Chain A
Amino acid sequence: MKLELRGITKRFGQVTANDSIDLVIEPGEIHALLGENGAGKSTLMNVLYGLYTADEGVIELDGIVQKFSGPGDAMAAGIGMVHQHFMLIPVFTVAENVALGHEPTKALGVIDLAKAKQQVREISERFGFNVDPDALIADLPVGVQQRVEIIKALSRDAKVLVLDEPTAVLTPQETDELMEIMKQLAATGTSIVFITHKLREVKAVADKITVIRLGKVVGTAKPDASTSELASLMVGREVILTIDKKPAAPGKAVLEVSHVSVLDDRSQRMVNDVSFEVKAGEILALAGVQGNGQTELAEYLLGLRKSIDPEAKTTINGIDISTASVREVLESGVGFIPEDRKTDGLVSEFTIAENLMLNSSFKSRFTRGLSINFGARKKIADELVEQFDVRTPSSETLASKLSGGNQQKVVVARELSRDVSLLIASQPTRGVDVGSIEFIHEQIIAERDAGKAVVLISTELDEVLALADRIAVMYRGKIVGIVGPETSREDLGKLMAGVTA
């Protein structure tokens, strides 16, 4: 089936997320939609899928104009979508999830579960998915959950399959398997729209590439285009993949972690007997595919989670913080940039100034007795806004009114303006525009050069390679290797897949 989008425009308030986008997808083609985070790829696909209604433009299938008032219409027309955040119900079984919305029924609307399971088994066998229809989604690993999503789309006879950032949560090995599946599907005539910001994957699998930036199509390319060519299309200028930095001059150990094991909310052991140390004046990167225990380890270091192993010991500058509360950890000189600033880093209903005193509300430069020292707060906030280049009308503006990059700068300003000896930066540039990324990277290196220990947790290999002095790779809760910054991408990729030499 041939899919054609013409002049799609979608606005949210004053922001134009999609600006008259044209896109043609031929039958059996794998079409990569390449662009940075926030470029408007997901919005475009949600328009295609009927979740949003476009303000302008038309969608055509085999030359017939479509009007989708909801995902149901899009599905009926043969469009299937695998969302970045899986649309699966954790407490339902695989068969129930696949059946939901087009359930096979017997009399009285009773669900014919046998039929639903049979359908899952058939598709699963056809593509070698190996999925048990009776398994609960909550018990399945993400890679299998993704296959359930694909089964869901195929069971509805999808002729066009949209995959939104499908590799973000996968190991390199699972990624390879997914690419095989994509090729196989394309061979049977299914068109595939592959949304990603990862250049290597695009080159490996796509037949055609469309690059989107700031809501507009900025170019198309063939997969044999060079990486730097694609990258510069994507970000609008030549990307500097490496940052100038002096070699590290490590001092004494600041953070020492030994034998730490941590459970997540579902009581699964996400960190398994991890030990490492970070010295003053160096950046240790914790690399790895998302979901291999980095989040839980960071939360442990902050004191949000406790180790289940009584042997575990963690010290900062020699002081034991194994059983310390978050407040004690913060006050012992730890700066923390959380992975998800919207949930953990900021109170979006608070002003910038209020957010800057978020973790200094007990007894600090912001307080006077039990009262807030409003004068001092205003002064400090104005200074930090200036120093960290936060683009805002005033320090009394609500944090929710700022762009992602400026919000992140507020978090960085707060943490770096405190007197810390250890900085833990978790995904410090996720969802941040290119300009802000550079600024934040420079700040992190400046901290290192000022003799502070830095733990950088990042799933972006480029970021890790640009900043790290040492790289610890996490796989399934363990550190499978600590290597130098000169290690090749290939070797790091193997480590991230759990292959140890």
Chain B
Amino acid sequence: MSDVKKNEESMAQAVKEILSGGLTRTVLSVLLGFLVGALFMIGSNKEFIEALGYLFSRPSDALGAAVQVVSEGYGALFRGAIYNADADTFEKAIRPLTETLRLGAPLIAAGLGIGLTFRVGLFNIGGTGQLIFGMIFATFVATRLELPFVLHTIVALIAGIVGAALLGAMVGFLKARTGAHEVILTIMLNYIALYFFTFLMRNPALLQETRATGNPKADPAAETALLPKLIGDNYSLHWGLIFALLAVVVFWWLMERSTIGFRLRMVGFNPDAARAAGINVEKTYILAMALSAGFVGVAAANQSLGVAVGVTPSAHANIGFDAITVALLGGSSGPGILLAGLLFGAFKAGAPSMQVIGVSPEVLGIVQGAIVLFIAAPPLIRAIFRLPAVQNSNALGAIRKRLFSRGGAK
């Protein structure tokens, strides 16, 4: 066989693999998710429903209404999350994008945490509880200690990570020690953490703000502890983004390059073989839960130190739960979670401008849910789009190697 033909065949094979691979499925899932959201927008639109009444006499009205509501809704999302073309200056026009980055940062960090447990064969539903514990620690350092600028932020960040990691480690410990299922433990701890946080913020001796109004609320973080603004005072984007990006790099090294990650993945794939290979599986579970919660802790610090307003019990902003969807969409890989976190960050950033034009931004919750529903069942996406089944050859790997390997093949 000639080389050209061989290449062609392997290209065809590679195309098949791309179609059956994770990336295609992910993109299609996202598109389908938006489609589902669009259907809900259309279905709840008054003009559309009215136009349905005379659908057969003037079908274009219904169609027009449908197109209009969807383009307005997603247009508002785009304006609120990426680029606002209506703004007078470029600086203002680009602000939505910075908001997306700001709101995406904690989702990325927490998503990494949840993704880590997926890789170890665990399921951490306790992002919320761990986030709250991280916030308790970080808020305490940020409001009750006096430290110089920079150092204060760093200590508060570390406190947040440690606080979250402690709760995570406890779940790991209880699982390892008693065999209790981590899903139940983390769900229960979410509630316990929330009520504990509220209790702390009701008590002036603990976390409640100095000029207490009776509502559970903490003091704002000291100025020395606040995360500094990243690109000037015109934007609220702060260093939380940098920490989230650092977390992505650390996650990637940990999971793909380090021996610790090797053992974590080993336990995830086959705990029996890991045990026979001399790995203490129970300790690995504890470590994994602690590391996972540690990443969530980065998000916690972000919530406590990001804004100059005191935290309230709702400051966890459901990030712990959204992180599950981020990790699922991101396929539990560092780069994937980065992109998924930004997408869902964009949803948060764009919500208010959808509200303004009268489309309920709650529709984004549906989009989010639909996306991960399609992600959760790869065969479903394959069935819908008639994609080929997963291929077994290494053609794609070979091509990727040719493109990306350093120094060429040996």
A residues at B contact (CB < 8 Å): 302, 304, 325-331, 336, 338, 343-350, 354, 357-359, 361-362, 367, 370-372, 393, 396-397, 401
Instruction: Mark each residue of chain B from 387 to 410: 1 if its CB lies under 8 Å from any CB of chain A, else 0.
Output: 000001010010000000000000
A350 touches B266 (CB 8 A): yes
**Cβ–Cβ < 8 Å partners of B277 in chain A:** 326, 330, 358-359, 361
Cα A304 to Cα B270 in complex, Å, equals 15
**Cβ–Cβ < 8 Å partners of B262 in chain A:** 354, 357, 361, 372
Cα A330 to Cα B278 in complex, Å, equals 7
**Cβ–Cβ < 8 Å partners of A401 in chain B:** 392
B266 touches A358 (CB 8 A): yes
Q: How many A-B residue pairs have CB under 8 A?
A: 75
A362 touches B259 (CB 8 A): yes
B276 touches A336 (CB 8 A): yes
Cα A209 to Cα B265 in complex, Å, equals 48
B276 touches A393 (CB 8 A): no
The smallest C-beta distance from B280 to any residue of chain A, in angstroms, reads 7
A371 touches B258 (CB 8 A): yes
Given A350-B266, A372-B259, A344 and B273 contact (CB-CB distance below 8 Å) = yes
B269 touches A350 (CB 8 A): yes
State which of B257, B278, B392, B394 has its C-beta within 8 Å of the C-beta of A371: B257
18 residue pairs A–B, Cβ–Cβ below 8 Å: A325-B280, A326-B275, A326-B276, A326-B278, A326-B279, A327-B280, A330-B277, A343-B273, A344-B275, A345-B276, A346-B270, A347-B273, A350-B265, A350-B269, A362-B278, A367-B259, A371-B259, A372-B257
Minimum CB distance partner of A368 in chain B: B259
Minimum CB distance partner of B267 in chain A: A347
Q: A348-B269, A349-B269 are in contact. List 4 more A-B contacts (CB 8 A).
A: A326-B276, A328-B278, A346-B273, A393-B394
Minimum CB distance partner of B278 in chain A: A327
**Cβ–Cβ < 8 Å partners of A357 in chain B:** 262
The smallest C-beta distance from B308 to any residue of chain A, in angstroms, reads 38
**Cβ–Cβ < 8 Å partners of B36 in chain A:** none
B276 touches A344 (CB 8 A): yes
Cα A302 to Cα B392 in complex, Å, equals 35
Q: Does B260 contact A (CB under 8 A)?
A: yes
B259 touches A361 (CB 8 A): yes
Cα A354 to Cα B277 in complex, Å, equals 12
B263 touches A361 (CB 8 A): yes
Cα A346 to Cα B270 in complex, Å, equals 8
8 closest residue pairs by CB, A with B: A327-B278, A359-B277, A344-B276, A326-B278, A358-B277, A347-B270, A349-B269, A330-B278
Minimum CB distance partner of B260 in chain A: A370
Cα A344 to Cα B274 in complex, Å, equals 8
**Cβ–Cβ < 8 Å partners of A302 in chain B:** 276
The smallest C-beta distance from A457 to any residue of chain B, in angstroms, reads 14
B258 touches A370 (CB 8 A): yes
Q: Which of B257, B259, B263 has the most CB atoms of chain A within a 10 A radius of its CB?
A: B259
The smallest C-beta distance from B97 to any residue of chain A, in angstroms, reads 35
**Cβ–Cβ < 8 Å partners of A350 in chain B:** 265-266, 269
The smallest C-beta distance from B390 to any residue of chain A, in angstroms, reads 12
**Cβ–Cβ < 8 Å partners of B258 in chain A:** 370-372
**Cβ–Cβ < 8 Å partners of A304 in chain B:** 275-276
**Cβ–Cβ < 8 Å partners of A326 in chain B:** 275-279
Cα A362 to Cα B273 in complex, Å, equals 16
Minimum CB distance partner of B254 in chain A: A370
**Cβ–Cβ < 8 Å partners of A358 in chain B:** 266, 273, 277
Q: Which of A331, A349, A358, A367 has the most CB atoms of chain B within a 10 A radius of its CB?
A: A358
A348 touches B270 (CB 8 A): yes
**Cβ–Cβ < 8 Å partners of B263 in chain A:** 361
The smallest C-beta distance from A97 to any residue of chain B, in angstroms, reads 28
Minimum CB distance partner of A355 in chain B: B273
The smallest C-beta distance from B6 to any residue of chain A, in angstroms, reads 15
**Cβ–Cβ < 8 Å partners of B279 in chain A:** 326-327, 361
A343 touches B270 (CB 8 A): yes
Given A302-B276, A330-B278, A362-B259, A347 and B266 contact (CB-CB distance below 8 Å) = yes
A345 touches B260 (CB 8 A): no
A347 touches B278 (CB 8 A): no
Q: Does B272 contact A (CB under 8 A)?
A: yes
**Cβ–Cβ < 8 Å partners of B269 in chain A:** 347-350
Given A343-B270, A345-B273, A331 and B278 contact (CB-CB distance below 8 Å) = yes
B278 touches A359 (CB 8 A): yes
**Cβ–Cβ < 8 Å partners of A349 in chain B:** 269-270
**Cβ–Cβ < 8 Å partners of A359 in chain B:** 276-278
The smallest C-beta distance from B72 to any residue of chain A, in angstroms, reads 46
**Cβ–Cβ < 8 Å partners of A328 in chain B:** 278
**Cβ–Cβ < 8 Å partners of B392 in chain A:** 401
**Cβ–Cβ < 8 Å partners of A372 in chain B:** 257-259, 262
Q: Which of B258, B278, B397 has the most CB atoms of chain A within a 10 A radius of its CB?
A: B278
The smallest C-beta distance from A335 to any residue of chain B, in angstroms, reads 12
Interface residues of B in 117-143 (CB under 8 A from A): none
Minimum CB distance partner of A331 in chain B: B278
Given A325-B278, A354-B262, A370-B260, A397 and B394 contact (CB-CB distance below 8 Å) = yes
The smallest C-beta distance from A301 to any residue of chain B, in angstroms, reads 12
Minimum CB distance partner of B261 in chain A: A372
State which of B253, B266, B276, B278 has its C-beta within 8 Å of the C-beta of A338: B276
The smallest C-beta distance from B321 to any residue of chain A, in angstroms, reads 28
**Cβ–Cβ < 8 Å partners of B397 in chain A:** 396
The smallest C-beta distance from B10 to any residue of chain A, in angstroms, reads 13
The smallest C-beta distance from A402 to any residue of chain B, in angstroms, reads 12
Cα A349 to Cα B269 in complex, Å, equals 7
Minimum CB distance partner of A382 in chain B: B410
B266 touches A370 (CB 8 A): no
**Cβ–Cβ < 8 Å partners of A361 in chain B:** 259, 262-263, 266, 277, 279
Minimum CB distance partner of B281 in chain A: A326
Cα A331 to Cα B278 in complex, Å, equals 9
Q: Which of A330, A348, A359, A396 has the most CB atoms of chain B within a 10 A radius of its CB?
A: A359
The smallest C-beta distance from A482 to any residue of chain B, in angstroms, reads 27
The smallest C-beta distance from B394 to any residue of chain A, in angstroms, reads 7
Cα A357 to Cα B259 in complex, Å, equals 10
Cα A450 to Cα B322 in complex, Å, equals 59
Cα A155 to Cα B385 in complex, Å, equals 48
Interface residues of B in 357-395 (CB under 8 A from A): 392, 394
Cα A372 to Cα B257 in complex, Å, equals 6
Cα A372 to Cα B259 in complex, Å, equals 6
The smallest C-beta distance from A103 to any residue of chain B, in angstroms, reads 33
B273 touches A370 (CB 8 A): no
Minimum CB distance partner of B253 in chain A: A371
